[in-house]
Structure 1
Amino acid sequence: MSKSLLLPRLGETMEQGRVVEWFKKPGESFTRGETLVEIETDKTVVEMPALADGMLRKIVAEVGEDVDVGGMLGEYDVIGEESSAVPEEAAAAAPAVAAAPAPEMRSQAASTRQDVTTGLRATPAARRVARQGGIALDDIAGTGRRGRIERHDVETRVNGTGYVGDANQAREVSAEGVLYRNLPRGRVAYREWRAPNASGAPLVLLHGFSGDAQVWSALASQLQRRGKHVIAPDLPSHGATDFDSADVDGMAAAIVALIEDLGLGGIELAGHSLGAAVATKVATALKSKVRRLTLIAPAGFGTEIDDDFIDGMAHVQKGGGLMHLLRRSALNPPLLSAQQLDQMAGAISKRGALAALAGNLVSSGRQQIDIRSELSALDAPSRVIWGLDDQIIPWQHASRAGPDIPVHFIPQAGHMPHWDQPQKVAALFI
């Protein structure tokens, strides 16, 4: 029997979701509990499990598409009996405030992923905290329904100290899963995505102006599932890192200190926009430790830039203004609620650190940094990735990268190709 796979309401404020990744292709079979598709909401990323054994017949909503609650994601054939406790059509159509079964539905369907080979059941939040803390789930006793591992079960493994791992390499973990390292200049925040059997050099990702580590979430999650170990810090003056820097050199020094403090050997390094300029200076300092350098829509190749965007981000006050700016940076900006946008704009405004940085990056409408000479002097293999719809820094700057540096152009992508085309960008790192 064929059925429609509909997008359920996964939170009280949810009106829409974005397809992040399909885990099955049309014609592939699945068992009950296997993850079919990953959905990004205005608050989180959720894995949707199958409610019965079956086969995916058709994908209607492709990766990157936005779907309204109750909208069709795909079609599938049911093999055997479907769970009557969690009907998908009812879940999708039910109002968030009126559906009495909704909390149970979310805990069983939207919030739990079961490893079909081991019977392990854990919430996405528990899995995320475990990945970030380098903790194996298979030896944790779950306290949730039917032995499900909850987030607090994983957090209990930090021995009540707020730290995960070996005492000599303690990593402070916040309630939001942010990791911290105390360095001479202050505390650096970072996030980590580690595959259970990660291979190759760790990939360190450096965000751009006014961003933080979370801008890499979609890309990092895909790389993690493909066996990579990804680390993304908040640059000084950004995110949860508690000290500021008004220039690229100061930011680079902080990242070098973090990499050394983490005890990383050889690394792969990538940076976006401002982060690309920082990454180039980090690669210069770390020399042979950097196995490869990737620059995504880099600053420092030319003078042209949308200085109104930089000034707007540095002085943003309200969520509406922030959303207008995000739409200029990407064709598919993240789904954020009005409350989240207001909180983000408020945090930028309250900190007030970006104005000084912006003044050192752009003056009289022109970029004030140039990384081409440092880039040409590097021994590490380097490359450039650029979206062909970039409205912030012209993609034509890629022609100035140098004759020995390959350039990958991403169609249908703006200044944030890792938002607009995360799968295409991820494929370049595999």
Structure 2
Amino acid sequence: MTVTLTMPRLGETMEEGTVASWLIEPGQRFKRGDALVEFETDKTAVEYPALGPGLLVEVLAQPGDVVQLGAPIARIDLEGADDWVTETVPEEGVADGETPVADAENDLAVSVGNSDVVAKEAEGGPVRATPLARRAARRAGLDITRLRGTGRRGRIELSDIQAAEGRTSGGLASSYWGPEGGTPVLLVHGFAGDRITFEQLGKGLGRAGLRARAVDLPGHGETVDEAAGFDDLVAALLAELTPARPVHLIGHSLGAAVAVRAARQGGAASLTLIAPAGLGLGIDHEFITGMAEAASPGTVSHLLRRLSNRAAGFSEDMISRIHVDLSRGRLRELAANIAPEGRQGVDVVPDLAALAAELPVRIIIGHRDAILDWRDAVQVSPRIAVHHLPAAGHMPHWDSPAEVLDIIVKGVRDG
């Protein structure tokens, strides 16, 4: 039986929406839960999932079309399955009080996705961006076709525009998660990392109602500025902190040491340090120099597995992209500065002792850390809470994500 799929209600006040793109093609079969089409409204961009199986026969509303609530958008062949189309979204519209898509954020999967996907799905294809992102790009004078989206299937989000504004103004490239009015949290990555390493944690913090922002330090990711040494990283982070509006600082590895040193100048409401550097002399010097030189994709692949078992699942394409980025040589001078003669050149133990008397400080360490010696954390001030994760390596937020998220959220709320 062939039935007509109509424009669903995506919000209580919604009267129309724009078809952004079809995610399947005519003649293609789908199952319950598969995303069929993406819509844009004044407030957001959402994907509409199939509420049952079927086959897309014909598209009636093309990308870019503005469609009224209840208007036909496609014809579906149910192929003998129960009629989930007309039972949930009748052609005359959605009855008052009914919401075929119960929650625009949960059921329609409005989430940050693969940052490696370009917003233009194909050369000459339409740019996928939310309405808020398009308006922000126009205000900022940015060419949206030249941006890389971090949204689902490469969609450009408002945070991508904000990050691009930061890059063009000499600031730190950033990604955001969570409500704008939420308690502010700032995440700082480690050596040879970038803000995308915090994607899973950032989403979790956002779901907890916090406003999380992850940045690319100088010499890393999409931030234009370079860093010759540790002090350059600290200076860049200090420029993001305002004592009058303190944020909860979360730093990983080298980024933890940067966060500690910057926090001495004010602007931090609390500190969470994940596998922090700067607590002892020992370090995997081969990892530091190897990532800075990035001799080959194979070398990079071997080194990444020292961070976490999760890296063993990275695709060849992902490894290749990481290698290309690292082989630009942006980290060579920094590597020599932070690990001279094969030892750590940064000591933040005195800074930590002073900070622990002023604000909440917590450390999260993994006992399988192959880059730093987790036992260095035993020597810190007794005022500092140290959380041990025996099964985690140098990336506890990858290896034990639920535990790390719980520790941070509880710490921020209690602090």
Q: Report matched runs for 1:21-420 at 5 Å.
A: 52=51, 82-85=52-55, 116-117=101-102, 128=112, 151=129, 153-158=131-136, 160-162=138-140, 174-177=147-150, 178=160, 179-180=163-164, 182=166, 186-195=170-179, 198-200=181-183, 202-260=184-242, 265-286=245-266, 289-333=267-311, 335-350=313-328, 352-378=329-355, 379-420=358-399
Aligned residue type for 2:138: G
Aligned residue type for 1:364: E
Alignment check: 8 A CA contact 2:282 2:373 kept: yes
In structure 2, the partner of 1:42 is none
Q: Deviations over 1:22-66 (max 9, x none)?
A: xxxxxxxxxx7699xxxxxxxxxxx999755xxxxxxxxxxxxxx
C-alpha distance in structure 2 between counterparts of 1:253 and 1:115, whole Å = 50
C-alpha distance in structure 1 between counterparts of 2:281 and 2:105, whole Å = 54
Determine helix, strand or coil for the equivalent of 2:237. Answer: helix
Structure 2 residue 405 is matched with structure 1 residue 426: yes
Q: CA deviation at 1:128?
A: 4.0
Bigger CA radius of gyration: 2
C-alpha distance in structure 1 between counterparts of 2:326 and 2:316, whole Å = 16
C-alpha distance in structure 1 between counterparts of 2:313 and 2:141, whole Å = 31
Q: CA deviation at 1:393?
A: 0.4
CA distance change for structure 1 residues 272 and 150 in 2, over 3 Å: closer, same or farther? Answer: same
Q: CA deviation at 1:341?
A: 1.6
Determine helix, strand or coil for the equivalent of 1:295. Answer: strand
CA distance change for structure 1 residues 159 and 374 in 2, over 3 Å: closer, same or farther? Answer: closer
Q: Deviations over 1:379-407 (max 9, x none)?
A: 12111100111011011111112211110
Scaled by the length of structure 2, the TM-score of the pair is 0.64
Q: CA deviation at 1:192?
A: 1.0
Alignment check: 8 A CA contact 2:297 2:323 kept: yes
Question: Per residue, is there more strand in 1 or in 2?
Answer: 1
Q: Over aligned residues, Cα RMSD in angstroms?
A: 3.5
C-alpha distance in structure 1 between counterparts of 2:377 and 2:212, whole Å = 26
The unaligned stretches of length 5 or more in structure 1 are 1-9, 12-31, 36-46, 53-81, 87-100, 102-113, 130-148, 165-172
C-alpha distance in structure 1 between counterparts of 2:313 and 2:307, whole Å = 14
Q: What percent identity do the matched residue pairs reach? A: 34
Determine helix, strand or coil for the equivalent of 1:333. Answer: helix
CA distance change for structure 1 residues 163 and 291 in 2, over 3 Å: closer, same or farther? Answer: farther
C-alpha distance in structure 2 between counterparts of 1:399 and 1:386, whole Å = 10
Q: CA deviation at 1:373?
A: 0.5
Q: CA deviation at 1:365?
A: 2.1
Deviates more, 1:359-368 or 1:231-240: 359-368
Count, aligned residues:
300
Q: Deviations over 1:227-276 (max 9, x none)?
A: 1111111001111111112222221111121234xx98121001111001
Q: CA deviation at 1:281?
A: 1.1
The unaligned stretches of length 5 or more in structure 2 are 1-22, 25-31, 36-45, 57-75, 77-98, 114-126, 151-159, 410-415
C-alpha distance in structure 1 between counterparts of 2:276 and 2:321, whole Å = 28
Q: Deviations over 1:343-363 (max 9, x none)?
A: 22111111x121111111112
